[in-house]
Amino acid sequence: MILGIGTDLANIERIAGVLERHGDRFRNRVFTEIEQAKAERRADTPGTYAKRWAAKEACSKALGTGLRMGISWKDMAVTNLATGQPVMHVTGWAAERLAEMTPDGHEAIIHVTLTDDHPWAQAFVLIEARPIG
Going from N- to C-terminal start, the domains of the chain cover: 2-131
Say which DSSP state 65 is in. Answer: S
58, 51 contact by CB (below 8 A) = no
- 54 φ, ψ to 5°? -60, -40
Establish whether 8 is an annotated binding residue: yes
Give the mean pLDDT of the chain.
94
- Confidence at 72, pLDDT banded by 50, 70, 90: confident
Q: What is the pLDDT of residues 21-38, one digit of tens each?
A: 999 999 999 999 999 999
Buried b (16+ CB within 10 A) or exposed e, 19-28: beeeeeebbe
At the topology level, CATH places domain 2-131 in Ribosomal Protein L22; Chain A (3.90.470)
What is the pTM for the complete model shown? 0.93
Running DSSP on this structure, what letter comes out for residue 42? S
**CA 131 to CA 21: how far, in whole Å?**
46
> Is the sign of the CA dihedral 77, 81, 87, 92 positive or negative?
negative
Establish whether 117 is an annotated binding residue.
no
Q: Tell me: pLDDT of 66 over 90.
A: no
C-alpha separations of 5 from 24, 44, 97 in Å:
31, 27, 14
CB atoms within 10 A of CB 4: 22
Per-residue pLDDT, 68? 67
